[in-house]
Structure 1
Amino acid sequence: MDRLPSWIRRHLAALRALLVLTLVLGGAYPLLVTGVAQVVFSGNANGSLVQSEDGKTVGSAIVGQNFTDADGKPIRKYFQSRPSAAGDGYDMLATSASNLGPEDVVDVPPVPGAENAAGEPEEGRQSLLTRICARSKAVGELEGVSGARPYCTPDGVGAVLKAFPAVGAPARVVSVNQACPAAPFVAVYQGVKVECAEPGEDYAAGRTVPIRGDARATVPADAVTAGGSGLDPHISPAYAELQAPRVARERGLPVRTVRQLIRDNTTGRSLGFMGEPGVNVLRLNLALDRG
Protein backbone atom coordinates (compact mmCIF):
# COMPACT_ATOMS: atom_id res chain seq x y z
CA MET A 1 0.00 0.00 0.00
CA ASP A 2 2.91 2.33 0.83
CA ARG A 3 4.17 1.89 -2.71
CA LEU A 4 0.92 3.28 -4.20
CA PRO A 5 0.96 6.88 -5.38
CA SER A 6 -0.36 9.34 -2.84
CA TRP A 7 -3.34 10.32 -4.97
CA ILE A 8 -4.52 6.68 -5.12
CA ARG A 9 -4.13 6.32 -1.33
CA ARG A 10 -6.25 9.42 -0.82
CA HIS A 11 -8.98 8.06 -3.10
CA LEU A 12 -8.98 4.69 -1.33
CA ALA A 13 -9.26 6.42 2.05
CA ALA A 14 -12.18 8.48 0.76
CA LEU A 15 -13.85 5.32 -0.58
CA ARG A 16 -13.46 3.53 2.78
CA ALA A 17 -14.94 6.54 4.57
CA LEU A 18 -17.82 6.60 2.11
CA LEU A 19 -18.58 2.91 2.68
CA VAL A 20 -18.40 3.18 6.48
CA LEU A 21 -20.53 6.32 6.66
CA THR A 22 -23.07 4.82 4.24
CA LEU A 23 -23.44 1.75 6.45
CA VAL A 24 -23.63 3.76 9.67
CA LEU A 25 -25.65 6.81 8.61
CA GLY A 26 -27.56 5.32 5.68
CA GLY A 27 -28.32 1.94 7.25
CA ALA A 28 -27.73 1.40 10.93
CA TYR A 29 -28.83 4.83 12.17
CA PRO A 30 -32.15 4.96 10.19
CA LEU A 31 -32.96 1.40 11.31
CA LEU A 32 -32.23 2.29 14.94
CA VAL A 33 -34.38 5.45 14.83
CA THR A 34 -37.19 3.61 13.04
CA GLY A 35 -37.08 0.81 15.58
CA VAL A 36 -37.20 3.19 18.54
CA ALA A 37 -40.07 5.12 16.94
CA GLN A 38 -42.05 1.92 16.36
CA VAL A 39 -41.56 0.78 19.95
CA VAL A 40 -42.07 4.10 21.73
CA PHE A 41 -44.30 6.10 19.34
CA SER A 42 -45.84 3.44 17.11
CA GLY A 43 -49.14 5.30 16.51
CA ASN A 44 -47.51 8.61 15.65
CA ALA A 45 -44.71 7.01 13.63
CA ASN A 46 -47.26 5.26 11.42
CA GLY A 47 -49.19 8.43 10.59
CA SER A 48 -51.62 8.69 13.54
CA LEU A 49 -54.13 6.62 11.58
CA VAL A 50 -57.71 6.53 12.80
CA GLN A 51 -59.94 3.46 12.48
CA SER A 52 -63.71 3.19 12.49
CA GLU A 53 -65.55 0.70 14.70
CA ASP A 54 -65.23 -2.02 12.06
CA GLY A 55 -61.45 -1.58 11.94
CA LYS A 56 -61.34 0.27 8.63
CA THR A 57 -58.79 3.08 8.35
CA VAL A 58 -60.75 6.27 7.68
CA GLY A 59 -58.06 8.93 7.91
CA SER A 60 -55.36 10.45 10.05
CA ALA A 61 -55.74 12.41 13.26
CA ILE A 62 -53.15 14.92 12.02
CA VAL A 63 -54.46 15.46 8.47
CA GLY A 64 -57.82 17.07 7.79
CA GLN A 65 -60.34 15.98 5.19
CA ASN A 66 -63.53 17.19 3.57
CA PHE A 67 -66.93 15.86 4.63
CA THR A 68 -68.74 16.57 1.38
CA ASP A 69 -70.74 14.62 -1.19
CA ALA A 70 -69.79 13.84 -4.80
CA ASP A 71 -70.84 17.35 -5.85
CA GLY A 72 -68.68 19.00 -3.18
CA LYS A 73 -71.67 20.00 -1.05
CA PRO A 74 -71.41 19.67 2.76
CA ILE A 75 -72.92 16.50 4.20
CA ARG A 76 -75.27 18.10 6.69
CA LYS A 77 -75.05 15.40 9.39
CA TYR A 78 -71.29 15.93 9.74
CA PHE A 79 -69.20 18.73 11.19
CA GLN A 80 -67.34 20.56 8.44
CA SER A 81 -63.60 21.22 8.35
CA ARG A 82 -62.09 24.62 7.65
CA PRO A 83 -61.29 25.59 4.04
CA SER A 84 -58.12 24.18 2.48
CA ALA A 85 -55.88 25.67 -0.21
CA ALA A 86 -54.00 22.37 -0.74
CA GLY A 87 -54.96 21.24 -4.24
CA ASP A 88 -58.68 20.51 -4.41
CA GLY A 89 -58.72 20.41 -0.61
CA TYR A 90 -56.53 18.54 1.90
CA ASP A 91 -54.28 17.15 -0.83
CA MET A 92 -51.11 15.97 0.94
CA LEU A 93 -49.18 16.15 -2.34
CA ALA A 94 -50.02 19.84 -2.70
CA THR A 95 -49.80 21.10 0.87
CA SER A 96 -49.64 24.89 0.81
CA ALA A 97 -51.35 28.14 1.62
CA SER A 98 -52.90 30.41 -0.99
CA ASN A 99 -50.10 32.99 -0.47
CA LEU A 100 -52.70 35.76 -0.79
CA GLY A 101 -52.46 38.64 1.67
CA PRO A 102 -54.76 41.27 3.17
CA GLU A 103 -54.20 43.66 0.26
CA ASP A 104 -55.67 41.18 -2.24
CA VAL A 105 -59.14 42.73 -2.41
CA VAL A 106 -59.87 43.30 -6.11
CA ASP A 107 -61.40 40.57 -8.31
CA VAL A 108 -60.81 39.97 -12.01
CA PRO A 109 -64.31 39.19 -13.35
CA PRO A 110 -64.51 36.71 -16.25
CA VAL A 111 -65.08 38.23 -19.67
CA PRO A 112 -68.08 36.62 -21.39
CA GLY A 113 -66.93 34.58 -24.39
CA ALA A 114 -63.22 34.88 -23.56
CA GLU A 115 -61.05 31.75 -23.49
CA ASN A 116 -57.79 30.91 -21.71
CA ALA A 117 -54.66 29.44 -23.31
CA ALA A 118 -56.16 25.94 -23.15
CA GLY A 119 -59.25 27.03 -25.07
CA GLU A 120 -61.48 26.80 -22.00
CA PRO A 121 -63.88 29.56 -20.87
CA GLU A 122 -62.08 32.27 -18.92
CA GLU A 123 -63.01 32.04 -15.22
CA GLY A 124 -61.45 35.26 -13.97
CA ARG A 125 -59.96 35.39 -10.47
CA GLN A 126 -61.45 35.92 -7.04
CA SER A 127 -59.53 38.01 -4.55
CA LEU A 128 -58.84 36.72 -1.05
CA LEU A 129 -61.44 39.13 0.30
CA THR A 130 -64.16 37.83 -2.02
CA ARG A 131 -63.26 34.23 -1.17
CA ILE A 132 -63.72 35.04 2.51
CA CYS A 133 -67.00 36.85 1.87
CA ALA A 134 -68.35 33.98 -0.27
CA ARG A 135 -67.37 31.39 2.32
CA SER A 136 -68.96 33.40 5.12
CA LYS A 137 -72.19 33.71 3.17
CA ALA A 138 -72.23 29.96 2.43
CA VAL A 139 -71.55 29.02 6.06
CA GLY A 140 -74.26 31.40 7.22
CA GLU A 141 -76.77 29.77 4.86
CA LEU A 142 -75.74 26.27 5.96
CA GLU A 143 -75.96 27.03 9.67
CA GLY A 144 -78.98 29.34 9.55
CA VAL A 145 -77.13 32.39 10.86
CA SER A 146 -76.01 35.69 9.38
CA GLY A 147 -73.05 35.31 7.06
CA ALA A 148 -72.43 39.05 6.97
CA ARG A 149 -69.02 40.41 7.92
CA PRO A 150 -67.07 43.67 7.56
CA TYR A 151 -65.86 44.60 4.06
CA CYS A 152 -68.33 42.18 2.43
CA THR A 153 -71.39 42.93 0.31
CA PRO A 154 -74.74 41.19 0.95
CA ASP A 155 -74.20 39.07 -2.18
CA GLY A 156 -70.90 37.70 -0.87
CA VAL A 157 -68.10 39.62 -2.59
CA GLY A 158 -65.58 42.14 -1.36
CA ALA A 159 -67.09 45.57 -0.71
CA VAL A 160 -64.48 47.51 -2.66
CA LEU A 161 -64.77 50.67 -4.76
CA LYS A 162 -62.42 52.14 -7.33
CA ALA A 163 -62.43 55.94 -7.38
CA PHE A 164 -61.22 58.01 -10.33
CA PRO A 165 -59.03 60.00 -10.38
CA ALA A 166 -56.78 58.28 -7.87
CA VAL A 167 -56.05 61.56 -6.08
CA GLY A 168 -58.55 64.19 -5.05
CA ALA A 169 -62.33 64.29 -5.24
CA PRO A 170 -63.78 61.37 -7.24
CA ALA A 171 -65.48 62.00 -10.56
CA ARG A 172 -66.26 58.34 -11.21
CA VAL A 173 -66.74 55.42 -8.79
CA VAL A 174 -67.01 51.70 -9.62
CA SER A 175 -67.98 48.77 -7.38
CA VAL A 176 -65.10 46.81 -8.81
CA ASN A 177 -66.08 43.34 -7.53
CA GLN A 178 -69.70 43.47 -8.73
CA ALA A 179 -69.83 42.77 -12.45
CA CYS A 180 -72.65 44.29 -14.47
CA PRO A 181 -75.60 44.00 -14.42
CA ALA A 182 -75.31 43.58 -10.62
CA ALA A 183 -76.57 46.48 -8.53
CA PRO A 184 -73.71 48.11 -6.55
CA PHE A 185 -73.86 47.58 -2.79
CA VAL A 186 -73.89 51.38 -2.31
CA ALA A 187 -75.67 53.75 -4.66
CA VAL A 188 -73.57 56.87 -4.04
CA TYR A 189 -70.03 57.54 -2.79
CA GLN A 190 -69.02 61.11 -1.92
CA GLY A 191 -71.84 62.45 -4.06
CA VAL A 192 -70.94 60.33 -7.11
CA LYS A 193 -73.18 57.57 -8.43
CA VAL A 194 -71.54 54.14 -8.10
CA GLU A 195 -71.34 51.99 -11.25
CA CYS A 196 -71.12 48.22 -11.61
CA ALA A 197 -67.90 46.79 -13.08
CA GLU A 198 -67.67 46.08 -16.80
CA PRO A 199 -65.85 42.74 -17.34
CA GLY A 200 -62.59 43.24 -19.18
CA GLU A 201 -62.22 46.92 -18.27
CA ASP A 202 -58.96 47.87 -16.55
CA TYR A 203 -59.56 49.66 -13.24
CA ALA A 204 -55.96 49.54 -12.00
CA ALA A 205 -55.52 53.32 -12.26
CA GLY A 206 -58.25 54.03 -9.72
CA ARG A 207 -57.90 54.46 -5.96
CA THR A 208 -58.89 51.30 -4.08
CA VAL A 209 -61.47 52.06 -1.37
CA PRO A 210 -62.54 49.10 0.81
CA ILE A 211 -65.83 49.82 2.63
CA ARG A 212 -66.03 48.33 6.11
CA GLY A 213 -69.76 48.73 6.66
CA ASP A 214 -71.45 48.13 10.01
CA ALA A 215 -71.80 44.33 9.88
CA ARG A 216 -70.49 42.16 12.69
CA ALA A 217 -69.09 38.72 11.92
CA THR A 218 -71.06 35.78 13.33
CA VAL A 219 -69.09 33.16 11.40
CA PRO A 220 -65.67 32.49 13.04
CA ALA A 221 -62.48 33.32 11.17
CA ASP A 222 -61.33 29.70 10.80
CA ALA A 223 -64.57 28.88 8.95
CA VAL A 224 -63.61 31.25 6.12
CA THR A 225 -59.80 31.13 5.99
CA ALA A 226 -57.50 28.26 4.99
CA GLY A 227 -54.67 27.10 7.23
CA GLY A 228 -51.03 27.60 6.30
CA SER A 229 -50.49 23.93 5.43
CA GLY A 230 -53.92 23.26 3.97
CA LEU A 231 -54.03 20.07 6.09
CA ASP A 232 -55.25 21.37 9.46
CA PRO A 233 -57.40 18.64 11.11
CA HIS A 234 -58.85 20.97 13.76
CA ILE A 235 -61.45 23.71 13.91
CA SER A 236 -61.97 26.19 16.72
CA PRO A 237 -64.47 25.40 19.50
CA ALA A 238 -66.43 28.46 18.32
CA TYR A 239 -66.85 27.01 14.81
CA ALA A 240 -67.83 23.63 16.25
CA GLU A 241 -70.43 25.29 18.50
CA LEU A 242 -71.85 27.12 15.50
CA GLN A 243 -72.37 23.79 13.72
CA ALA A 244 -73.78 21.92 16.72
CA PRO A 245 -77.49 22.83 16.25
CA ARG A 246 -77.44 21.77 12.59
CA VAL A 247 -75.72 18.43 13.31
CA ALA A 248 -78.04 17.73 16.23
CA ARG A 249 -81.08 18.48 14.09
CA GLU A 250 -79.90 16.28 11.20
CA ARG A 251 -79.18 13.36 13.53
CA GLY A 252 -82.18 13.76 15.80
CA LEU A 253 -79.97 14.26 18.85
CA PRO A 254 -80.24 16.72 21.74
CA VAL A 255 -77.93 19.68 21.23
CA ARG A 256 -76.44 19.11 24.68
CA THR A 257 -75.32 15.62 23.57
CA VAL A 258 -73.55 17.04 20.53
CA ARG A 259 -71.93 19.77 22.61
CA GLN A 260 -70.63 17.18 25.06
CA LEU A 261 -69.02 15.32 22.16
CA ILE A 262 -67.39 18.59 21.08
CA ARG A 263 -65.90 18.98 24.55
CA ASP A 264 -64.72 15.35 24.56
CA ASN A 265 -62.85 15.90 21.29
CA THR A 266 -61.34 19.29 22.12
CA THR A 267 -57.60 19.45 22.70
CA GLY A 268 -56.06 22.17 24.86
CA ARG A 269 -53.12 24.45 24.22
CA SER A 270 -49.77 22.78 23.62
CA LEU A 271 -47.83 22.58 26.89
CA GLY A 272 -50.73 24.48 28.43
CA PHE A 273 -49.87 27.87 26.96
CA MET A 274 -49.02 27.64 23.21
CA GLY A 275 -51.65 28.02 20.51
CA GLU A 276 -55.41 27.74 20.94
CA PRO A 277 -57.77 24.87 21.79
CA GLY A 278 -58.93 22.89 18.77
CA VAL A 279 -61.58 20.30 17.90
CA ASN A 280 -60.46 17.30 15.83
CA VAL A 281 -63.16 17.08 13.15
CA LEU A 282 -62.54 13.47 12.11
CA ARG A 283 -62.61 12.14 15.67
CA LEU A 284 -65.73 14.18 16.41
CA ASN A 285 -67.57 12.85 13.38
CA LEU A 286 -66.56 9.27 14.22
CA ALA A 287 -67.86 9.77 17.76
CA LEU A 288 -71.17 10.91 16.27
CA ASP A 289 -71.35 7.84 14.02
CA ARG A 290 -70.72 5.56 17.02
CA GLY A 291 -73.76 7.14 18.66
Structure 2
Amino acid sequence: MNALPGWLRRHVAALRALLVFTAVLGVLYPLAITAAAQVPGLKDHADGSHVSVDGRQVGSELIGQPFTGKDGNPLRQYFQGRPSAAGDGYDPTATSASNLGPEDIIDKGDEQSLLSMVCTRSKEIGELNGVDGSRPYCTKGGVGAVLSVQPGRVISVNEPCPAAAPFIAEYKGVKVECAPAGLDPRAGKIVPVRGSAPAEPAVPADAVTASGSGLDPHISVAYAELQARRVAEMRGVPVRTVRKLVGGATTGRALGFMGQPVVNVLQLNIALDKAAPYRG
Protein backbone atom coordinates (compact mmCIF):
# COMPACT_ATOMS: atom_id res chain seq x y z
CA MET A 1 0.00 0.00 0.00
CA ASN A 2 1.35 3.38 -0.93
CA ALA A 3 2.14 5.71 1.96
CA LEU A 4 -0.33 8.50 2.55
CA PRO A 5 0.57 11.90 1.14
CA GLY A 6 2.35 14.21 3.56
CA TRP A 7 -0.51 16.67 3.80
CA LEU A 8 -2.97 13.85 4.64
CA ARG A 9 -0.64 12.37 7.28
CA ARG A 10 -0.53 15.74 9.00
CA HIS A 11 -4.33 15.94 9.06
CA VAL A 12 -4.64 12.41 10.43
CA ALA A 13 -2.09 13.19 13.16
CA ALA A 14 -4.00 16.35 14.06
CA LEU A 15 -7.26 14.40 14.24
CA ARG A 16 -5.67 11.77 16.52
CA ALA A 17 -4.36 14.52 18.82
CA LEU A 18 -7.80 16.13 18.89
CA LEU A 19 -9.47 12.86 19.86
CA VAL A 20 -6.87 12.07 22.55
CA PHE A 21 -7.03 15.53 24.15
CA THR A 22 -10.84 15.53 23.95
CA ALA A 23 -10.95 12.22 25.80
CA VAL A 24 -8.37 13.26 28.41
CA LEU A 25 -9.32 16.91 29.01
CA GLY A 26 -12.99 16.83 28.05
CA VAL A 27 -14.00 13.56 29.72
CA LEU A 28 -11.44 11.97 32.05
CA TYR A 29 -10.21 15.18 33.71
CA PRO A 30 -13.73 16.57 34.51
CA LEU A 31 -14.77 13.16 35.87
CA ALA A 32 -11.66 13.02 38.08
CA ILE A 33 -12.27 16.54 39.42
CA THR A 34 -15.95 15.78 40.04
CA ALA A 35 -15.00 12.60 41.92
CA ALA A 36 -12.42 14.47 44.02
CA ALA A 37 -15.03 17.12 44.84
CA GLN A 38 -17.21 14.48 46.49
CA VAL A 39 -14.57 13.74 49.15
CA PRO A 40 -15.91 14.46 52.66
CA GLY A 41 -14.97 18.02 53.59
CA LEU A 42 -15.11 19.21 49.97
CA LYS A 43 -18.57 18.01 48.95
CA ASP A 44 -20.49 20.86 50.57
CA HIS A 45 -18.34 23.49 48.89
CA ALA A 46 -18.37 21.73 45.53
CA ASP A 47 -22.15 21.49 45.54
CA GLY A 48 -22.49 25.23 45.99
CA SER A 49 -22.66 25.49 49.79
CA HIS A 50 -26.46 25.49 49.67
CA VAL A 51 -28.22 26.27 52.93
CA SER A 52 -31.50 24.48 53.62
CA VAL A 53 -34.16 24.98 56.27
CA ASP A 54 -36.76 22.24 56.78
CA GLY A 55 -35.72 20.67 53.48
CA ARG A 56 -36.06 23.91 51.51
CA GLN A 57 -33.08 25.72 50.02
CA VAL A 58 -32.95 29.29 51.32
CA GLY A 59 -29.60 30.47 49.99
CA SER A 60 -25.87 29.89 49.96
CA GLU A 61 -23.19 30.36 52.59
CA LEU A 62 -20.97 31.94 49.92
CA ILE A 63 -23.37 34.29 48.12
CA GLY A 64 -25.20 37.16 49.80
CA GLN A 65 -28.85 37.93 49.23
CA PRO A 66 -31.26 40.79 50.01
CA PHE A 67 -33.69 40.66 52.93
CA THR A 68 -36.30 43.02 51.58
CA GLY A 69 -40.06 43.13 51.19
CA LYS A 70 -42.11 43.20 47.99
CA ASP A 71 -41.66 46.98 47.90
CA GLY A 72 -37.89 46.57 47.92
CA ASN A 73 -37.49 48.11 51.36
CA PRO A 74 -35.43 46.37 54.06
CA LEU A 75 -37.35 44.01 56.34
CA ARG A 76 -36.72 45.53 59.76
CA GLN A 77 -36.89 42.17 61.56
CA TYR A 78 -33.84 40.89 59.67
CA PHE A 79 -30.19 41.82 59.55
CA GLN A 80 -29.24 43.45 56.27
CA GLY A 81 -26.16 42.62 54.20
CA ARG A 82 -23.80 45.00 52.47
CA PRO A 83 -24.73 46.59 49.13
CA SER A 84 -24.11 44.69 45.88
CA ALA A 85 -23.12 45.97 42.44
CA ALA A 86 -23.51 42.53 40.79
CA GLY A 87 -26.34 42.83 38.28
CA ASP A 88 -29.53 43.73 40.11
CA GLY A 89 -27.83 42.63 43.34
CA TYR A 90 -25.99 39.45 44.35
CA ASP A 91 -26.27 38.05 40.81
CA PRO A 92 -23.57 35.33 40.51
CA THR A 93 -23.79 35.49 36.70
CA ALA A 94 -22.84 39.18 36.78
CA THR A 95 -20.35 39.29 39.63
CA SER A 96 -18.53 42.61 39.58
CA ALA A 97 -17.70 45.78 41.42
CA SER A 98 -19.16 49.18 40.53
CA ASN A 99 -15.92 50.31 38.84
CA LEU A 100 -16.25 53.67 40.63
CA GLY A 101 -13.25 55.19 42.37
CA PRO A 102 -12.63 57.69 45.18
CA GLU A 103 -12.46 60.60 42.72
CA ASP A 104 -16.00 59.92 41.46
CA ILE A 105 -17.72 62.72 43.38
CA ILE A 106 -19.92 64.51 40.82
CA ASP A 107 -23.42 63.24 39.97
CA LYS A 108 -24.23 62.96 36.28
CA GLY A 109 -27.96 63.49 35.76
CA ASP A 110 -29.81 60.59 37.37
CA GLU A 111 -26.55 58.64 37.79
CA GLN A 112 -25.16 59.06 41.29
CA SER A 113 -21.45 59.40 41.89
CA LEU A 114 -19.78 57.00 44.31
CA LEU A 115 -19.69 59.76 46.91
CA SER A 116 -23.43 60.49 46.66
CA MET A 117 -24.17 56.76 46.63
CA VAL A 118 -22.29 56.36 49.92
CA CYS A 119 -23.96 59.45 51.38
CA THR A 120 -27.46 58.25 50.43
CA ARG A 121 -26.89 54.77 51.82
CA SER A 122 -25.44 56.12 55.05
CA LYS A 123 -28.42 58.43 55.57
CA GLU A 124 -30.93 55.62 54.91
CA ILE A 125 -29.13 53.10 57.14
CA GLY A 126 -28.88 55.68 59.91
CA GLU A 127 -32.63 56.31 59.71
CA LEU A 128 -33.38 52.57 59.62
CA ASN A 129 -31.34 51.90 62.75
CA GLY A 130 -32.01 55.08 64.68
CA VAL A 131 -28.48 56.50 64.56
CA ASP A 132 -26.78 59.51 63.02
CA GLY A 133 -26.01 58.58 59.41
CA SER A 134 -23.91 61.65 58.65
CA ARG A 135 -20.41 61.26 57.24
CA PRO A 136 -17.66 63.60 56.04
CA TYR A 137 -18.22 65.19 52.61
CA CYS A 138 -21.94 64.43 52.67
CA THR A 139 -24.86 66.87 52.83
CA LYS A 140 -27.69 66.37 55.30
CA GLY A 141 -29.88 65.50 52.31
CA GLY A 142 -27.66 62.53 51.50
CA VAL A 143 -25.59 63.58 48.48
CA GLY A 144 -21.97 64.52 48.01
CA ALA A 145 -21.06 67.92 49.49
CA VAL A 146 -19.20 69.27 46.47
CA LEU A 147 -18.86 72.82 45.16
CA SER A 148 -17.94 74.21 41.76
CA VAL A 149 -16.10 77.46 42.48
CA GLN A 150 -16.21 79.84 39.52
CA PRO A 151 -15.35 83.55 39.22
CA GLY A 152 -17.97 85.38 41.30
CA ARG A 153 -20.14 82.26 41.59
CA VAL A 154 -20.25 79.07 43.71
CA ILE A 155 -22.54 76.14 42.90
CA SER A 156 -23.46 73.03 44.90
CA VAL A 157 -23.07 70.61 42.00
CA ASN A 158 -24.99 67.64 43.45
CA GLU A 159 -28.04 69.64 44.63
CA PRO A 160 -30.12 70.40 41.52
CA CYS A 161 -32.56 73.29 41.24
CA PRO A 162 -35.24 73.80 42.34
CA ALA A 163 -34.14 72.80 45.82
CA ALA A 164 -34.10 74.01 49.36
CA ALA A 165 -31.18 76.09 50.48
CA PRO A 166 -27.85 74.44 49.54
CA PHE A 167 -26.00 72.53 52.28
CA ILE A 168 -23.78 75.53 52.87
CA ALA A 169 -24.95 79.15 52.65
CA GLU A 170 -21.74 80.71 51.36
CA TYR A 171 -18.18 79.87 50.48
CA LYS A 172 -15.45 82.45 51.03
CA GLY A 173 -18.00 85.24 51.11
CA VAL A 174 -19.87 84.13 47.96
CA LYS A 175 -23.45 82.84 48.17
CA VAL A 176 -23.80 79.18 47.21
CA GLU A 177 -26.43 78.28 44.58
CA CYS A 178 -28.10 74.99 43.73
CA ALA A 179 -27.07 73.39 40.44
CA PRO A 180 -29.00 74.73 37.43
CA ALA A 181 -30.00 72.45 34.55
CA GLY A 182 -27.18 71.83 32.08
CA LEU A 183 -24.48 72.76 34.57
CA ASP A 184 -20.95 71.84 33.53
CA PRO A 185 -19.09 71.62 36.86
CA ARG A 186 -15.78 71.46 35.01
CA ALA A 187 -16.18 75.18 34.37
CA GLY A 188 -15.01 75.79 37.92
CA LYS A 189 -12.69 74.40 40.56
CA ILE A 190 -14.19 71.33 42.25
CA VAL A 191 -14.07 71.61 46.03
CA PRO A 192 -15.34 68.81 48.34
CA VAL A 193 -16.52 70.17 51.70
CA ARG A 194 -15.87 68.02 54.76
CA GLY A 195 -18.55 69.49 56.99
CA SER A 196 -19.01 68.78 60.71
CA ALA A 197 -19.68 65.04 60.57
CA PRO A 198 -17.65 62.87 62.99
CA ALA A 199 -14.39 61.38 61.75
CA GLU A 200 -15.69 57.93 62.79
CA PRO A 201 -19.24 57.69 61.36
CA ALA A 202 -21.83 55.65 63.24
CA VAL A 203 -22.56 53.71 60.03
CA PRO A 204 -19.58 51.43 59.16
CA ALA A 205 -17.90 51.50 55.76
CA ASP A 206 -19.05 48.00 54.74
CA ALA A 207 -22.68 49.11 55.18
CA VAL A 208 -22.35 51.70 52.41
CA THR A 209 -19.87 50.14 49.97
CA ALA A 210 -20.18 47.01 47.83
CA SER A 211 -17.55 44.29 47.84
CA GLY A 212 -15.30 43.65 44.84
CA SER A 213 -17.32 40.59 43.83
CA GLY A 214 -20.73 42.02 44.68
CA LEU A 215 -21.55 38.66 46.29
CA ASP A 216 -20.13 39.02 49.80
CA PRO A 217 -22.40 37.14 52.26
CA HIS A 218 -20.74 38.71 55.30
CA ILE A 219 -20.86 41.97 57.20
CA SER A 220 -18.53 43.36 59.81
CA VAL A 221 -19.16 42.83 63.51
CA ALA A 222 -19.61 46.60 63.80
CA TYR A 223 -22.42 46.60 61.22
CA ALA A 224 -24.11 43.66 62.96
CA GLU A 225 -23.89 45.50 66.29
CA LEU A 226 -25.45 48.58 64.71
CA GLN A 227 -28.48 46.51 63.65
CA ALA A 228 -28.86 44.40 66.80
CA ARG A 229 -31.10 46.78 68.75
CA ARG A 230 -33.48 47.31 65.84
CA VAL A 231 -33.83 43.57 65.22
CA ALA A 232 -34.32 42.87 68.93
CA GLU A 233 -37.10 45.47 69.17
CA MET A 234 -38.86 44.08 66.08
CA ARG A 235 -38.77 40.54 67.47
CA GLY A 236 -39.61 41.52 71.04
CA VAL A 237 -36.53 39.96 72.65
CA PRO A 238 -33.69 41.39 74.75
CA VAL A 239 -30.83 42.82 72.70
CA ARG A 240 -28.43 40.49 74.54
CA THR A 241 -30.26 37.53 72.96
CA VAL A 242 -29.65 38.93 69.50
CA ARG A 243 -26.03 39.74 70.29
CA LYS A 244 -25.48 36.14 71.39
CA LEU A 245 -26.79 34.95 68.02
CA VAL A 246 -24.48 37.42 66.28
CA GLY A 247 -21.58 35.80 68.11
CA GLY A 248 -22.68 32.37 66.92
CA ALA A 249 -22.66 33.51 63.28
CA THR A 250 -19.27 35.23 63.55
CA THR A 251 -16.17 33.80 61.90
CA GLY A 252 -12.73 34.78 63.18
CA ARG A 253 -9.75 36.01 61.20
CA ALA A 254 -8.63 33.76 58.34
CA LEU A 255 -5.78 31.52 59.55
CA GLY A 256 -5.98 33.40 62.82
CA PHE A 257 -4.33 36.60 61.59
CA MET A 258 -5.70 37.71 58.19
CA GLY A 259 -8.59 40.13 57.82
CA GLN A 260 -11.24 40.89 60.42
CA PRO A 261 -13.97 38.78 62.06
CA VAL A 262 -17.12 38.71 59.93
CA VAL A 263 -20.77 37.74 60.38
CA ASN A 264 -22.62 35.52 57.89
CA VAL A 265 -25.94 37.32 57.41
CA LEU A 266 -27.95 34.33 56.14
CA GLN A 267 -26.83 32.06 58.97
CA LEU A 268 -27.61 34.79 61.49
CA ASN A 269 -31.11 35.40 60.12
CA ILE A 270 -31.86 31.66 60.10
CA ALA A 271 -30.75 31.43 63.72
CA LEU A 272 -32.96 34.41 64.54
CA ASP A 273 -36.05 32.77 63.03
CA LYS A 274 -35.42 29.67 65.13
CA ALA A 275 -34.56 31.33 68.42
CA ALA A 276 -36.78 34.43 68.24
CA PRO A 277 -39.50 34.10 65.56
CA TYR A 278 -40.95 37.32 64.26
CA ARG A 279 -44.58 37.74 65.40
CA GLY A 280 -45.49 40.78 63.32
* TM tier, smaller: over 0.9
User: After superposition, what is the alpha-carbon deviation per residue over 1:15-54, rounded to whole angstroms, capped at 9, x for unaligned?
Assistant: 11211111111101110110110123111001000011x1
Distance 1:133 1:270 in 2: 31
Work out which of the residue numbers 211, 219, 230 in structure 1 matches 2:203. Answer: 219
The offset of 1:203, in angstroms, is: 2.4
CA distance in 1, matches of 2:139, 2:95: 31
Deviating more after overlay: 38-47 vs 239-248: 38-47
Residue pairs, 1:39-54, within 5 angstroms: 39-40=39-40, 41-52=42-53, 54=54
Distance 1:86 1:3 in 2: 59
1:218: how far off? 0.7
- Per the alignment, residue 140 of structure 2 pairs with 154
Over the residues paired in the alignment, what is the CA RMSD in angstroms? 1.2
Amino acid at match of 2:160: A
Q: Secondary structure at the match of 2:223?
A: helix
Q: Deviations over 1:246-277 (max 9, x none)?
A: 00110011111111111111111221222221
Aligned length: 271
Q: SS of the residue aligned with 1:230?
A: coil
String of CA shifts for 1:182-220, please: whole Å, max 9, x gaps.
Answer: 211111101111111112222221110000112111100
Matched, 1:140 2:122: no
Distance 1:56 1:279 in 2: 22
Partner Cα separation in structure 1 for residue 64 and residue 267 of structure 2: 10
Q: CA deviation at 1:2?
A: 6.6
Match in the other structure for 1:210: 192
| 1:128 partnered with 2:114 | yes
2:191 aligns to what SS in structure 1? strand
CA distance in 1, matches of 2:39, 2:2: 48
User: Partner residue of 2:19?
Assistant: 19
Q: 1:1-291, aligned counterparts within 5 Å? A: 3-40=3-40, 41-52=42-53, 54-109=54-109, 124-165=110-151, 171-180=152-161, 181-216=163-198, 217-291=201-275
Deviation string, structure 1 residues 151-187 (Cα, Å, up to 9, x no partner): 001111111110004xxxxx21011111122211111
Q: Distance in 2 between matches of 1:257 and 1:155?
A: 35
TM-score by length of 1: 0.90
* Paired AA for residue 178 in structure 1: E
Separation (CA, whole Å) in 1 of partners of 2:95 and 2:2: 56
Q: Secondary structure at the match of 1:82?
A: coil
Question: Residue 209 of structure 1: SS of its match in structure 2?
Answer: strand
Unaligned runs of 5+ in 2: 276-280
**Where does structure 1 lack aligned partners over 5 or more consecutive residues?**
110-123, 166-170
- Aligned counterparts of 1:89 and 1:71: Cα–Cα separation in 2: 15
Q: What amino acid does structure 2 have at the position aligned with 1:128?
A: L
Secondary structure at the aligned position of 2:111 is classed as coil
In 1, Cα distance between the equivalents of 2:94 and 2:165? 38
Deviation at 1:10, TM superposition (A): 2.3
Q: Deviations over 1:231-252 (max 9, x none)?
A: 1100000000000000011001
Q: Distance in 1 between matches of 2:90 and 2:2?
A: 62
Amino acid at match of 1:39: V
**Corresponding residue for 2:278?**
none
Letter in structure 1 aligned against 2:159: Q
